[in-house]
Structure 1
Amino acid sequence: MTTTAPPRPEAAPTPPARPSAARRLGAFALRQWRRLTAMRTAIVLLFLLALAAIPGSLLPQRSLSQSAVGQYFADHPTLAPVLDRLYLFDVFSSPWFAAVYLLLFVSLIGCVLPRALEHARALHTPPPPAPRRLTRLPDSARLPTPLPPAAALDAVEEELRVRRYRVVRREREGGAELSAEKGLLKETGNLVFHLALVALLLGLAGGKLWGYEGSILVTEGQRFCNAFQQYDTYSAGAMVESGDLSPLCVGLEDFRAEYEQDLTAASFTADVTYGAPGEEGRSTTIGVNDPLRVDGDRVYVTGHGFSPRFTVTLPDGTTFDDVSAPFLPTEQSTMASEGALKLPDLGAGADDQLALQGFFAPTGLVQAGVLTSIDPRPLAPQVAVVAFRGYLGLDSGLPQSVYSLDASQIERGRLAEVGRANLSVGESMTLPDGTTVAFTGYSEFAAVQVSHDPGQLWVLGAAVAVLAGLLGMLLLRRERVFARAAADPGGGTVLDVGALTRGSGDGAPRFAALTDDLRAVLAARAPTRTPPSDGAAPQTGGAPA
C-alpha cells in the first residue's frame, strides 16, 4: 500500500514592489516637463500671451497715461476698482502676464534646443537608403535605358547635383542605388524662427529689467531733468538704480497742435532744447511719431493740454504774477480741461491758504450760466473758477493729486468756498477779503515721456530673424529623390526613380520635370548605331550629350 504526500501549497505571488516616493515624484516631474516643452503647449502659451495683451491695448495703462487711468476711474467708479484688482491697468507688469511670459520662455527653450541639436546632427548625416519598392512612393517612374547601371546613375547624379541635391550612392543587393535630398534649410528656418522668438523674449525681458520710463507734464518755458523725483509717474526695472539714469535735461520752448477740418488732431510738434545739466542745450523739434533719441533715451510727446495763467493780488499788495498749473483734458474732442492751482505760501498762517479749482475751455461758450468748450483750438479761452480758502493739507503727510483739491479737506470744513466766476482773458474777480484773481492768459503744455530700453536693438534684430525664419519655413520644401539601377535581362538597364516631398506645394510637377530631363539626358547618352557598309560588321560608339 502506497501513500502519496499531500500537495504542497503554492506560494502566493509576490506583489511588485511599489516605486519609492522620490521615483514617483521624478516620473511626475518628467511627464510635466514633457508636456510643458511640447510644441502644442508653446503654441497655446503664445496664444494666451497674445490674448493677455488685448486688455493692455483696450484699457488705459498707468505706465503710459496716469491721467487717462484717473479719468477711467471717474467715468466708471464701480467697474474700475474691480479691473484694478485684476491688474488690467498694469497689464504688462502684472503677475499673471509675467507667469505666461515665463512659461512660454521655458517652453520654447525646452522645445527648440533639443530640435536644434538633432538638426545639427542631421546636417552631417547622409540621406537614408532608398526604399525597397520605389513604386510605393507618392511620385515614381520607371525609365528604361540602354546604358549600363553605373552610367545611368552617373546621369541621374549629375542632374540632381545641378539642382543642388546632396547625393549619396550605395551598392545593395539587386543593383546600385542613389539617395539625394535638399531642403534642410526649411528646418533651419523653423529653428531660426523659434530661436529668434526666444531671443525676442529675452530682449523684452532685458528691456524690462534694465529699462525705465517716466512721464511728466511740461509747460512752455519750463524744463525738467532725467531724475525720478521730477516725474509724475515713474517705473523702472529691478536692475535700475537712481544713479543709472542718463544725465539729460529737456526744456519745452514751444508747442503746436494742428487740427483737421473735423477738429480731429492732425499733428503735435514741440520745439525743445536738450543737453546734460549745466550745458548749453541743443534745439530740435519732436512729434508723436518722431521722438528725440539721445544716449539710448527716447523722449516722446504723448499728449498736450493747457495751463491757465492767473495773477493773484492780496489785500496787502502782495502779488503772485502769472502763476499757472496744468489743467488735464476731460474731453479730447474739445480739450475741455479741469485742474487746480494751489497757493500755500500766502504768509498769513498755516490755515490761511488759497486754492483755485477751475474748468478751462479753449473756445468757451456760456449756456445757462454753465461754461462749455466747443472747439479744441484756443479761439476764445475762458475759465470757470471756484476759489477756496483754508487749509490745503499739503503738510499732512498724506499723498494727494497736484491736479485737484483734496475733497476730504472740503468735507471737513477746512477748505471753504469764497467765490466763483466765469472769466475771459483779462477779466478778474474779487474775493470777500479783497483778494483779486485775474485770468491773464494760458500756456500750452506737453505730456512728455522719457523711455530707456537697452533691449531695443536686440528686439529689432530678433524680429528680423523671426521674419527670415518664417519665410524659410513657408517657401522652402524638404525633398528626397531615390534612384535604383538594375540590369535588364533583355539588355540595358531598368532605372527606377521615386521622390518624396514634405512641405508646402505639390511635388508632382517638379518630379515630372525631373523625369523629363532625365529621359532627355539618358537618350542623349545612349549609344548610337551606325549602319553597316561593304559587308562590315556594324559599329557602335557613344557620344556624350
Structure 2
Amino acid sequence: MIAPSPARPAIRPAARRPIAPVRWLGRAWHELRKMRTAIILLAILALLAVIGTLLPQLPQNPRGVMGYVLRHPATAPWFARLGLFDIFSSWPFIITAVLMYTSIGASMFIRVPAAWRRAMEPAQRNRGLWAEIASIVFHASFFILLVGVIYGKAAGFLGNVAVVEGDSFVEARANYDNLSEGKLASEHAGFQVKVDRFSASFWPTGAPKDFTSQVRIYDGGRLVDTKSIQVNHYVEYRGVKIYQAGYGWAPTLRIESPDGRVLEDAATIFVGDPQFANGVIKTPSAGPPPEQLGATAI
C-alpha cells in the first residue's frame, strides 16, 4: 500500500522590493506627514523671517540695500543669490513654506477622518477628542492665514517714494518712484501727505538710533490728521499703510551762470546709504543748444 505524499505548501514568489528612489520617496512622504516635521519647518520659516528683519529688504528699503552692498562687498553677493534682500519672495522661504503647508495638509488629511470616526462613536468621545479637534482647528488656521496673505498680495500694492522735508506727496499711481501692484488692486486713494519736520538721533558710534517724521494728512484739501511716523510705527489712512523705510540727504543746490542767471535752486535728493549717498544734477538751460550741464556728487 502506497501512502499519499503530504501536500506541499504553495510557494509564493517573494515580494519584489520597490526600487531605491521609490523607497526614498516613500520614507520622505512618511516623514513629511508627521506633525513634528511641520513644527521644524515652521521654526525654519521663523528664522528666515528674523533674517528679513536684520537685513534691509528691497521692497521696503532699496536704498538701504544699496548701502549694505557698498559696505559689505564680500557677503552681499551671496546674500543676493539666496534672495535674502527680499526674503519673503526668496526660494528658501518659498520652498520651506510649500513643504510646511504640504506637511500640515497631509497630516490633517489623516487626522480629520480619524477624529470624525471617534466623534461618531460614543465610547471614544471622551478620550482626548476635544484636544484633537483643537489641534486640527489650530493647524487649519495656517491655511486661513495663507488665504489672507494671497488676497493681500493680489488686492494690495507696495510703493516707494522719497519726500523732501517740507514737501508733500499725493497718493496716486504716477507719483511713486517704484510701484508693485497686485492683480486685484483698486484705484489709489488720492490723499496728500505733507512732511512738516524730520528728526534723527544717533548712537555714540554714529549708527542711526531712531528717525521720526511729523506729517499732516489732507483729503480733498481738508486737514484730517496729524501723525508722527517712526521706525516700525506706521500711519494708516483709508486702508493705506505709510511706513518710514529710511532717510537720506536733500541739500539745496544753487547754480548760477557767469552772467548771474539762476540755473538751479532746489533741493536735490541724494540716494543710497546716507554715508555713501550720491545725487545727480542736470540743468538743460546752462548753455546754448545743444550744450547742457550735468554733474554727479557723493
Residue aligning to 2:248: 305
Amino acid at match of 2:39: I
Identity of aligned residues (%): 29
Is the CA contact 1:221–1:251 (under 8 Å) kept in the aligned structure 2? no
Amino acid at match of 2:215: D
Map Cα deviations across residues 283-339 of structure 1 (whole Å, 9 max, x no partner): 4223125433223211122333331112222134431353121234746xxxx5633
- Residues 351 and 105 (structure 1 numbering): CA distance in 2 closer, same or farther, change over 3 Å? farther
Structure-2 separation of matches of 1:182 and 1:340: 70
Structure-2 separation of matches of 1:189 and 1:14: 47
TM-score by length of 2: 0.77
Q: Once the 2 structures are TM-superposed, how far is the Cα of residue 211 of structure 1 from its aligned partner?
A: 2.8
Find out whether 1:185 has 2:130 as its counterpart: yes
Find out whether 1:201 has 2:146 as its counterpart: yes
Is the CA contact 1:211–1:236 (under 8 Å) kept in the aligned structure 2? yes
Find out whether 1:255 has 2:197 as its counterpart: yes
SS at match of 1:83: helix
Residue aligning to 1:93: 89
Amino acid at match of 2:97: Y
Residue aligning to 2:294: 354
Q: How does 1:151-300 map to 2 (within 5 A)?
A: 181=126, 184-237=129-182, 239-240=183-184, 244-257=186-199, 259=201, 265=209, 268-275=212-219, 279-282=220-223, 283-288=225-230, 289-300=232-243
Residue aligning to 1:79: 75
Map Cα deviations across residues 399-422 of structure 1 (whole Å, 9 max, x no partner): xxxxxxxxxxxxxxxxxxxxxxxx
Residue aligning to 1:322: 265
Structure-1 separation of matches of 2:273 and 2:24: 56
- Residues 25 and 69 (structure 1 numbering): CA distance in 2 closer, same or farther, change over 3 Å? closer
Is the CA contact 2:69–2:76 (under 8 Å) kept in the aligned structure 1? yes
Q: 1:338 aligns with which of 277, 280, 286?
A: 277
Map Cα deviations across residues 438-474 of structure 1 (whole Å, 9 max, x no partner): xxxxxxxxxxxxxxxxxxxxxxxxxxxxxxxxxxxxx
User: What is the root-mean-square deviation of aligned Cα atoms in Å?
Assistant: 3.7
Find out whether 1:64 has 2:8 as its counterpart: no
Where structure 1 has 5 or more consecutive residues not aligned to the other structure, the ranges are: 1-12, 129-165, 167-180, 359-545
- Residues 266 and 354 (structure 1 numbering): CA distance in 2 closer, same or farther, change over 3 Å? closer
Find out whether 1:107 has 2:103 as its counterpart: yes
Where structure 2 has 5 or more consecutive residues not aligned to the other structure, the ranges are: 1-10
Amino acid at match of 2:294: L
Q: How does 1:392-403 map to 2 (within 5 A)?
A: none
The structure with the largest strand share of the pair is 1
Structure-2 separation of matches of 1:82 and 1:337: 21
Q: 1:37 aligns with which of 20, 23, 33?
A: 33
- Residues 339 and 274 (structure 1 numbering): CA distance in 2 closer, same or farther, change over 3 Å? farther
Structure-2 separation of matches of 1:337 and 1:250: 31
- Residues 311 and 212 (structure 1 numbering): CA distance in 2 closer, same or farther, change over 3 Å? same
SS at match of 1:206: helix
Is the CA contact 1:221–1:252 (under 8 Å) kept in the aligned structure 2? yes
Structure-1 separation of matches of 2:26 and 2:187: 44
Structure-2 separation of matches of 1:315 and 1:186: 84
Map Cα deviations across residues 217-265 of structure 1 (whole Å, 9 max, x no partner): 101343333445533343344x356xx3423343324023264896864
- Residues 68 and 39 (structure 1 numbering): CA distance in 2 closer, same or farther, change over 3 Å? same
Amino acid at match of 1:287: I
Is the CA contact 1:246–1:295 (under 8 Å) kept in the aligned structure 2? no
SS at match of 1:117: helix
For CA contacts below 8 A with separation 6 or more, give which structure has more relative contact order. 1
Structure-2 separation of matches of 1:15 and 1:182: 43
Q: Once the 2 structures are TM-superposed, how far is the Cα of residue 39 of structure 1 from its aligned partner?
A: 1.7
